[in-house]
């Protein structure tokens, strides 16, 4: 793979991670909206039923049997709606878990691909620069060896005059 392909693959993988996380956030937002909307609808419905029930009692306070039947129907309907809301909430939680696992899987896969691209790019750079680095190291080694040889040749001469002056 060329260097450009490795770099492109790396950034595509990073972008895939961000896309997966963004999709998860959008999905969670949609899920929260659906649950909130359902809850608001149920509160509105319950409020209307309570007002209707209170109105029925105010209009015909002596119709106890009719009020009792309406109250029983209202409570039964409210329980059914509460069960529907609970069922929706549990469905959303289940969907959330599946989506979370899918998101984690996508992130892991994209990170693995990004890591492979980075390793491949690094390997490519090392292979391209190795001859130049080796040549530079060998040149520096040769210069250092040459300098050490020159120093060791001149070192006895440098110490000899010092011993002559001491006598």
Per-residue model confidence as pLDDT tens digits over 44-97: 999 999 999 999 989 998 998 999 999 999 999 999 999 999 999 999 999 999
**pLDDT score for 121:** 85
Per-residue model confidence as pLDDT tens digits over 93-138: 999 999 999 999 999 999 999 999 889 888 888 888 888 888 888 8
139 located within any domain:
no
154 located within any domain:
no
141 located within any domain:
no
- Phi–psi pair at 132, nearest 5 degrees: -70, -40
Rounded to an integer, what distance in angstroms lies between the CA atom of residue 50 and that of residue 62?
Answer: 18
Q: Which helix (H) or strand (E) holds 133?
A: helix 64-166
Q: What is the DSSP string of 89-116?
A: HHHHHHHHHHHHHHHHHHHHHHHHHHHH
Q: Is the pTM of this model over 0.85?
A: no
**pLDDT score for 160:** 53
Per the structure, the complete domain to which residue 120 belongs is given by: 3-128
Measured at the CA of 164, the angle between CA 161 and CA 165, to 5 degrees, comes to 90
47 located within any domain:
yes
**pLDDT score for 89:** 92
pLDDT, mean over the chain: 87
- In the chain, the number of structural domains is 1
Rounded to an integer, what distance in angstroms lies between the CA atom of residue 68 and that of residue 71?
Answer: 5
C-alpha dihedral, 32 to 38 to 40 to 45, nearest 10°: -170
149 located within any domain:
no
pLDDT at 157 over 50: yes
pLDDT at 166 over 70: no
């Amino acid at each position: 793979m060329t260097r450009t392909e490795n770099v492109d693959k790396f950034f595509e993988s990073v972008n895939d991670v961000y896309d997966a996380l963004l999709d998860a956030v959008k999905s969670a937002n949609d899920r929260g909206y659906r649950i909130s909307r359902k809850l608001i609808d149920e509160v509105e419905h319950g409020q209307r039923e309570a007002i209707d029930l209170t109105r029925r009692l105010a209009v015909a306070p002596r119709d106890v049997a009719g009020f009792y039947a309406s109250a029983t129907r209202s409570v039964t309907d409210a329980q059914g709606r509460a069960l529907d809301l609970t069922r929706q909430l549990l469905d959303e939680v289940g969907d959330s878990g599946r989506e979370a696992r899918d998101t984690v899987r996508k992130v892991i896969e994209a990170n693995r691909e990004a890591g492979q691209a980075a390793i491949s790019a690094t390997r490519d750079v090392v292979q391209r620069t190795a001859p130049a680095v080796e040549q530079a190291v060998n040149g520096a080694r040769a210069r250092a060896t040459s300098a050490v040889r020159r120093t060791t040749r001149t070192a006895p001469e440098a110490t000899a005059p010092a011993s002559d002056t001491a006598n």
